[in-house]
Amino acid sequence: MNLHKVKTDVEVPPIDRMVPQHLEVATFALGCFWSPEAMFGSIEGVVRTRVGYSGGVITDPTYHNLGNHSETLQIEYDPEKITFKQLLAIFWKHHDPAKEPWSQQYKPIIFFHNELQQELAGASKQAKERQLNTTVYTEILPFKKFYLAEDYHQKYRLRHEPDLMRGFTLIYPDMKDFVNSTAASRINGYLSGYGTLAELEAEISQFGLSDEHKKRLLSIVKDLETQGQTRKKYCPF
């Protein structure tokens, strides 16, 4: 991909031109995937987010034919800015591990990609069991394959802002490039109530938005703060 232009004359957002050369991958199931993608996408050091399906045996699952897969979030992160151990702490904070999952689709799972991730995940689960003094239902499984979910699930909250999406469609006519956009992940997080107005003002120039779209995003986040509507949850339960 040309780092300055993607099939159009519209410039790629500055934040998308500053992707570190070395990224690591983490894969989590957190009960659903819309809200977790927004939450992790808002975190400094997380570069890319995508949602899909993992953990099952059928090939090419879809939302309406999941088999025994679970809704899953996959992230690429900069280990110089955030560690897997820190990501685990965020993972445990944002679900109830003592609650038995009511379906395979919404089961919380840590999918480990290597021995270090397996070791850290296991230690974090043991610590959580000691803390809660009860059964922890969160599973730890080896990562096998990740199937990308349908387009309409990616950056779910951003997709429900047509004006902003039109801007991104001009920049990234190829859906793969849109999914991989750090700017899209960040904006999706802000629209979902993750991040403050002050934080947005400090980095909005990196998102490649027009003046009109900047005003729109700032207005939405200001309204969320004014109404106290932070940490919104977009899951079907």
| Dist CA 76 CA 230 (whole Å) | 25
Tokens of 194: 């993750």
Is residue 226 exposed (0-12), middle (13-18) or buried (19+ Cβ within 10 Å)?
A: exposed
Q: Which amino acid is at 199?
A: E
Cα 157 to Cα 118: distance, rounded to the nearest angstrom: 32
Q: What is the DSSP string of 126-143?
A: HHHHHHHTS----EEEE-
Query: How many other C-beta atoms lie within 10 A of the C-beta of residue 176?
Result: 11
Which helix (H) or strand (E) segment holds residue 47: the answer is strand 46-54
Which residues belong to the active site?
32
Most distant pair of Cα atoms in the chain: their distance = 58
Distance CA 48, CA 183 (A): 9
Two structure tokens written together for 147: 């199937």
